[in-house]
């Protein structure tokens, strides 16, 4: 038993027990008030109180006062449940038995109210006390009938009807108790199922919220009933549930309107107004009341993942094969050099040069592929731009003698956070491309630093006066193994961008100059 007198097994249902007891008390108050009004208003015109009207009226008045008192106590001090219930049942049995005596015994029909009391107590109490309540009512009935038989010389045959009523008390108590136990079991099961459903709902909401794909639930009218943060990010909006799909994406709303009502799942590619390419999957759902599920997948992310997997596999392959490739290449190159020195035949010399050039190209390919694995080894540091640039240009002039006159350097000095080796590699690639495609005029290539619009960042610009990049190839220049140069590997610009990102910078191709214009945006500040 709990401290409130409720069975321990039902201790979690305190509120429902007390609520049932309040309803039972209100029923008692109504019955008492009805009896009192009947006694005062109608008197002898009804069958109530036919034997002793004064006793009936007094008992009804006291019964009403006690019912009011029980209700007040119940509302103010909801403690000791079984004690309050037992006291109320005892008062019910005593009052109804006295009023039954004053009305001529069990023939008055008040005994049926005792049956209701026993049933109500069994349903409210839901414990072994239910049999006690049936016994209490039975004893009161038998005492009333015995007193009537001894004092008033009533018909002894009434004992038979009284016994049947007493049996009905016990039968009602047992049936009510079984029903109550079934109700409690169902209520407990429903409560547990409700908690499980709540847990599953929270888990589902967490999974949907953390999904990398966008999820929308849309009704037949085109209103979004549910969406996750990823869907908002992919569509570039921040809205609440109930918003029309057209307000989020007009293109998606038009496609959904065409598909809506079809029983089959459909997958299509959809390009947003901002240029983002999405893979959209429409799924009809009869379980959601005619609503549909829309899954959004960022194809750029998918392509990037596929690209990363490809490069990871390539990196593992090249790391294992670099030693096996470079050693034979070195032997072949050395043999070609010896052959060119010892054999004066022009044909052999030309063939040796071809061998030497191609071994050099293969060696460069291996070197650049190995650069793919150096992104995670970035160690950014604060670099003074002009100081770094002076050493870089000296080495560039040794590689290309025309660099001294063809390269124009800006005067602005900045400090930027970048890995020194990575910055050298990025600039070497960009300047090599610029010198190769620019004209032979003086200052054909410009290299300068500029302040960035964003606070705490600076920009490095590499601009040439060459033919620029064809419009159809702009989206491909940073893809691995894409090249327009016959001797190139197609990895230079891709590696340059990866190295920039490793230092928290970005590399972009701009379309605001006659030639090619590359911009590096990095963390830094302008020197005063």
305 or 407, higher pLDDT: 407
Dist. CA 163–CA 140, nearest whole Å: 12
Token code pair at residue 485: 């140069």
Is residue 200, in this structure, part of any structural domain at all? Answer: no
Is 197 within a domain?
no
In 3D space, the residue among 221, 238, 241 whose CA is nearest the CA of residue 229 turns out to be: 238
390 and 484 co-located in one domain: yes
219: in domain: yes
Q: Where are the beta strands (DSSP E) in 232-324?
A: 266-271, 277-284, 292-298
Placement of tokens 């009947």 in the chain: 38
Which of 148-157, 215-224, 348-357 is predicted with the least confidence, judged by mean pLDDT?
A: 148-157
Residue 202 lies in a domain: no
The CATH number of residue 295's host domain is 3.30.450.20
Residue 32 sits in the same domain as residue 75: yes
Distances (CA, A) of 6 to 85, 129, 395: 11, 11, 91
Contact 501, 437 (CB under 8 A): no
Lookup: tokens for 313: 């596999």
Please write the tens of the pLDDT for every residue from 198-220. Answer: 888 787 777 777 777 888 888 87
- From start to end of 258-349, where are the E strands? 266-271, 277-284, 292-298
Which candidate, 2, 28, 30, 138, places its Cα nearest to that of 89? 28
- The answer to whether the CB of 442 falls within 8 A of the CB of 405 is yes
Residue where a domain terminates, one of 344, 374, 404: 374
Give the separation between CA 435 and CA 48, rounded to whole angstroms. 119
Which of 6-15, 319-328, 354-363, 443-452 is the least confident region? 6-15
Q: What is the three-class DSSP state of 337? A: helix
pLDDT exceeds cutoff 50 at 273 = yes
My answer on whether 284 and 309 are in the same domain is no
251-257 LR contacts (CB < 8 Å, sep 24+): 252/280, 252/294, 253/222, 255/280, 256/218, 256/222, 256/282, 256/292, 256/294, 257/222
Task: Give the whole-angstrom CA distance, residue 126 versus residue 141.
Answer: 23
Is a pLDDT exceeding 60 seen at residue 6?
no
User: How far apart (Å, rounded) are the C-alpha atoms in residues 256 and 265?
Assistant: 12
445 and 486 inside one domain: yes
- Is residue 457 domain-resident? yes
Average pLDDT over residues 310-338: 69
State yes or no: pLDDT of 347 exceeds 90. Answer: no
Number of domains into which the chain is organized:
4
Asked if 502 contacts 375 with a C-beta cutoff of 8 angstroms, the reply is yes
Q: Does residue 446 share a domain with residue 308?
A: no
CA distance 132 to 499: 86
Using CA atoms, how far apart are residues 14 and 4, in angstroms rounded to an integer? 9
* Alpha-carbon 442 to chain mean position: 60
Query: Considering the domain boundaries, does residue 3 fall inside one?
Result: no
- Cα gap 356→39, rounded to integer Å: 126
> 288 and 273: one domain?
yes
**69-103 pLDDT tens trace:** 888 887 887 778 778 888 888 888 888 888 887 77
Tokens in use for 218?
């849309």
Asked if the model's pLDDT at residue 10 lies above 50, the reply is no
Judged by DSSP in three states, 491 sits in: coil
Say yes or no: 346 and 454 in one domain.
no
Residue 289 has phi, psi (to 5 degrees) of: 70, 45
Take residue 264 and report the two structure tokens written for it: 């089959």
Determine what percent of the chain is predicted with pLDDT higher than 70. Answer: 81
185 and 324: one domain? no
Same domain, 68 and 122: yes
Question: Domain ends where: 374, 408, 423?
Answer: 374
365, 402: one domain? no
Query: Do 238 and 160 share a structural domain?
Result: no
Beta strand pairing call for 407-409 and 445-451: parallel
Same domain flag for 442 and 520: yes
Integer CA distances (angstroms), 151 to 142, 155, 288, 387, in order = 14, 12, 74, 126
Residue 5: its pLDDT value, please?
A: 42
Confirm whether 490 is domain-assigned.
yes
Instruction: Using the predicted structure, report yes or no on whether residue 504 has a pLDDT greater than 80.
Output: yes
Residue 204 covered by a domain: no
Look at residue 125 in the predicted model and tell me its pLDDT.
73
CATH at 451: 3.30.565.10
Residue 509's beta-bridge partner residues? 518
473 phi and psi angles, rounded to 5 deg: -105, 0
Residue 413 and residue 527 in contact, taking contact as beta carbons nearer than 8 Å? yes
Domain termination site, one of 374, 409, 435: 374
Q: Which of 11-15, 131-135, 321-325, 404-408 has the lowest mean pLDDT?
A: 11-15
Cα of 114 vs its chain's centroid, Å: 57
B/e letters for 71-100, b = 16+ CB within 10 Å, e = fewer, are beebeeebeebbebbbebbebbbbbbbbbb
Domain of 218, in residue numbers: 211-299
Q: What is the pTM of this model?
A: 0.42
């Amino acid at each position: 038993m709990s401290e409130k007198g409720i069975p321990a097994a039902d201790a979690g249902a305190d509120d429902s027990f007390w609520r049932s007891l309040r309803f039972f008390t209100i029923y008692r108050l109504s019955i008492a008030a009805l009896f009192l009004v009947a006694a005062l208003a109608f008197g002898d015109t009804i069958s109530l109180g036919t034997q002793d009207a004064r006793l009936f009226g007094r008992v009804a008045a006291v019964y009403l006062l006690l019912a009011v008192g029980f209700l007040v106590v119940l509302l103010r001090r909801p403690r000791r449940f079984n004690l309050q219930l037992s006291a109320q049942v005892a008062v019910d049995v005593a009052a109804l038995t006295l009023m039954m005596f004053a009305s001529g015994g069990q023939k008055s029909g008040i005994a049926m109210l005792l049956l209701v009391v026993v049933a109500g107590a069994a349903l409210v109490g839901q414990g072994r006390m239910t049999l006690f309540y049936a016994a209490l009512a039975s004893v009161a009935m038998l005492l009333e009938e015995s007193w009537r038989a001894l004092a008033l010389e009533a018909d002894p045959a009434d004992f038979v009807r009284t016994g049947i009523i007493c049996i009905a008390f016990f039968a009602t108590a047992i049936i009510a108790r079984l029903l109550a136990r079934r109700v409690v079991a169902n209520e407990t099961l429903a409560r547990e199922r409700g908690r499980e459903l709540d847990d599953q709902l929270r888990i589902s909401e967490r999974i949907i919220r953390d999904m990398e794909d966008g999820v929308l639930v849309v009704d037949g009218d085109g209103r979004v009933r549910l969406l996750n943060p990823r869907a908002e990010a992919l569509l570039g909006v921040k809205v609440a549930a109930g918003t029309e799909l057209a307000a989020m994406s007009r293109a998606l709303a038009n496609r959904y309107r065409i598909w809506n009502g079809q029983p089959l799942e459909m997958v299509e590619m959809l390009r947003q107004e901002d240029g983002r390419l999405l893979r959209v999957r429409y799924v009809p759902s009869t379980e959601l009341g005619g609503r549909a599920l829309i899954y959004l997948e960022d194809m750029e992310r998918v392509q990037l993942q596929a690209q990363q997997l490809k490069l990871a596999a390539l990196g593992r392959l090249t790391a294992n094969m670099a030693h096996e490739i470079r050693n034979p290449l070195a032997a072949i190159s050395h043999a070609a050099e010896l052959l060119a020195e010892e054999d004066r035949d022009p044909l052999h010399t030309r063939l040796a040069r071809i061998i030497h050039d191609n071994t050099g190209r293969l060696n460069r390919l291996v070197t650049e592929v190995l650069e793919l694995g150096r992104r995670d080894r970035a160690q950014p540091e604060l670099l003074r731009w002009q100081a770094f640039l002076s050493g870089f240009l000296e080495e560039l002039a040794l590689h290309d003698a025309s660099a001294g006159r063809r390269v124009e350097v800006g005067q602005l000095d900045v400090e930027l956070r970048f890995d020194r080796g990575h910055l050298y590699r990025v600039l070497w690639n960009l300047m090599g491309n610029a010198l190769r495609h620019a004209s032979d005029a003086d200052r054909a290539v410009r290299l300068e630093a500029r302040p960035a619009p964003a606070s705490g960042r600076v920009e490095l610009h590499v601009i040439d006066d060459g033919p620029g990049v064809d419009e159809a190839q702009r989206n491909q220049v940073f893809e691995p193994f894409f090249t327009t140069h016959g001797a190139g590997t197609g990895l230079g610009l891709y590696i340059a961008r990866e190295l920039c990102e490793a230092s928290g910078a970005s590399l972009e191709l701009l379309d605001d100059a006659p030639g090619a214009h590359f911009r590096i945006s990095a963390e830094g500040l302008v020197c005063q």
